[in-house]
Homo-oligomer: A and B are copies of this chain.
Amino acid sequence: MRRIALIIEYDGTNYVGWQIQPNGIAVQQAIGDAFFKLIGDRPTLQASGRTDSGVHAYAQVAHFDTDCRIPADKFCYALNTRLPSDIRIKASFEVPEDFHSRFSVREKHYLYTVNNAPHACAFTRDTALHVHHPLDVGRMNEAAGMFMGTHDFNAFKAAGSNAGATERTIFRSEWTRDGSYLSYHVAGSGFLYNMVRIMVGTMLRIGMGFDDPSAVANALSDPRRTNAGDTAPAHGLMLRRVKYDLFDTEDFS
């Protein structure tokens, strides 16, 4: 039995998310279908984490165990010819048995993209949130800086999601601008359910001038969900990079 890791890219537009759901096709399921065509079996795929419906991945990681004799580095080619074109396996390779896509994660990076322009764009309609109200990136970066370090992110967790520890550590939290596009880069040890989208929703209100940057400090020190902003739409979000002791998805870009 070998354990094999996959680096997976997907446009989440046409999927209900990573995890199998009753109301549509999940990315996990589409990959399972490709496996079935290839080896007549659907191995259990363990991902670095779920992504919601409409959320994209530039580099998701999943592993599976198999007795099949296909060389580890050939799985990506064999699966890609059997997958829809909005899901691509960028690499496949053998990993030690004690590697786990989810439990071995050291750091995850997300990217949230906003198109701040009078009109939306035909090409980025599914990968960037269109905001026509002018955004003040300086104010948004002032707020973004407050997320750095270790905090209780309870205010930035979807109401009703799993209980458990809500302390997380953020290593990078920064907005950059390229023309009308604003990109929020966030890296952390781990993220609560909807955490990045609520962080972005909170900073968008600040960027539009409806809240002061101190709203972030307030939501971190008094971590009630009502102290943070709305959950930003899914389609602007992308799982950008996952780092392990063993490898970094960026090595396969």
Contacts and interface: CB of A to CB of B under 8 A. Distances in A.
Interface of A: 9-11, 56, 58, 76-77, 80, 85-90, 119-123, 125, 127
Contact of A10 (B88, B120, B122): B122
A88 B127 CA distance: 16
B119 A80 contact: yes
Contacts of A80: 119-120
Nearest to A76: B119
A20 B77 CA distance: 39
A85 B123 contact: no
Nearest to A86: B122
A89 B121 CA distance: 9
A11 B125 CA distance: 10
Contact of A85 (B87, B89, B125): B125
Nearest to A180: B253
A9 B85 contact: no
Contacts of A87: 122
B119 A88 contact: yes
